[in-house]
Structure 1
Amino acid sequence: MELARYVLRKVVIQKLYKTNLQPPIRHSGNKPNIEQIVCQSKKNDSSKSSIIQETKITNDDNMIDDAIGTTDELTSFIGLAREFACGSTVEHPYLDKLKRVQMILFDLNHAISRSKLNKPSLFEIKHTQDLEEWISEYANQLPPPEDYIIPGGGKACASLHVAKAICKRAERNVTALVHKGVIDKQAQIYLSRLSEFLFTVSRIAAKCDQRTENIYIPRAEVKDEK
């Protein structure tokens, strides 16, 4: 009986080889062709490169979108600060300047969006120079700033403090794009000066509304006063 099984198995295997088929082998798959391995390896290399490249583009796009979104948020909060100042019983002298800043931020957003098309735009240095002049103009009307001013001092003042914080975030977003070489460094410098301007104007707002600035006092100093 065993001999008959052996003979039958041998006949089946011979027929399989004659028809160029391979018999199934237990605990092993078909042995792949070396050329197929090399070809598949090259495809994998190409696929890997493609994934890395696509990821790089996606990350850059996300950074650009973050910068645009934060700048939009900044523009909106500056608009809110303008409305609070307009609603005050006292005239706030900086309203036209805030509106001008909003227009420039629209230009900045356009420049950031163009970087997606690999068309970086130059950012005019004059915008930064204007901010520096405005900062000097208003700083001369104020006492020297304390080390830390707690946000508050009226709605206009508080909203400008929020705008300043958003401006610092926008600056960080744009700085990352500057390091990648996709946007002009002047845009980063402008946002840095803008945060200083918003801080200075927030103090002017508190002064116009006759609100006292809240100064941060370390706990140790509070205990000493008691």
Structure 2
Amino acid sequence: MGNRLSKIYTRTGDDGSTGLGDGSRIGKDSLRVEAYGTVDEANACIGVMLAAGVPDGVRDLLTSVQHQLFDLGGELCIPGHAAIGDDDVTRLEQHLDRYNADLPPLKEFILPGGGEASARCHVARTVVRRAERCAVALARVEDVRPQAVRYLNRLSDLLFVLGRVLARESGHGEVTWQHERRRG
């Protein structure tokens, strides 16, 4: 394993720069740092969701996802590095299909909520969506492997489906958007 931090602060970032995984330095406000930082934030949101208590199958799946998000953050932090593959995207799709199979078809938009774990899942979903937008923006100016963007896209879809599952399992149920509601 690479370098271990024995001292947490180094003062090297006091000038507004940070070190990438390849040793180069870049501005903390760069698209690359924004992309891998948002992946890190998404990972933390999943951790907060897991702290709310979820079924074991969901816990195991999302713990695996957390490891993959750490790998993805590394891929984005090291230009030219590959950590997420097509098989990782395919596995997310398989989980999506499995969890979605027992859900009724959507007829309306779902409001974030449906119990604590479900609501936290929706927060994680929106942060993953932002991470995807950041990765797309980075890909417009630097090389980003398409697997990274596809992984984030499928993960946000999976979190949406898991939010629905968790809302139903909690007994709170899903809250649908009432677009014809009274104004008042």
TM-score where L is the length of structure 1: 0.65
Which residue is equivalent to 2:101?
140
Question: Aligned partner of 2:150: which letter?
Answer: I
Q: What RMSD over aligned residues (CA atoms) do the two structures have, in Å?
A: 1.9
Q: Is the 8 A contact 1:158 1:202 kept in 2?
A: yes
8 Å Cα contact 1:92-1:205 kept in structure 2: no
* Among 82, 87, 99, the residue aligned to 1:126: 87
Instruction: Assess, with a 3 A threshold, how the Cα gap between structure 1 residues 207 and 93 changes in structure 2: closer, same or farther.
Output: farther
C-alpha distance in 2 between matches for 1:93 and 1:120: 31
Larger relative contact order (Cα-Cα within 8 Å, sequence gap ≥ 6):
2
Aligned length: 158
Q: Please say if residues 49 and 117 of structure 2, whose CA atoms lie closer than 8 Å, have aligned partners that are also in contact.
A: yes
Question: Is contact 1:135-1:197 (8 Å) kept?
Answer: yes
Q: How does 1:22-171 map to 2 (within 5 A)?
A: 62-86=30-54, 91-115=55-79, 119-121=80-82, 123-171=84-132
Deviation at residue 166 of structure 1 after TM alignment: 0.4
CA distance in 1, matches of 2:68, 2:81: 16
Identical aligned pairs, as a percentage?
32
Deviations 1:171-195 (Å, cap 9, x if unpaired)?
0000122223422011001100000
Q: Is the 8 A contact 1:64 1:177 kept in 2?
A: yes
Amino acid across the alignment from 1:157: S
Is 1:199 aligned to residue 160 of structure 2? Answer: yes
Q: Which has the larger radius of gyration?
A: 1
Query: Does the C-alpha gap of structure 1 residues 98 and 122 become closer, same or farther in structure 2, counting only changes over 3 Å?
Result: closer
Deviation at 1:60, TM superposition (A): 9.6
Structure 1: how far apart are the matches of 2:119 and 2:38? 19
Q: Report if aligned partners of 1:75, 1:105 keep a CA contact under 8 Å in 2.
A: yes
Judge conservation of contact 1:121–1:183 (CA < 8 Å) in 2. Answer: no
CA distance in 1, matches of 2:104, 2:53: 21
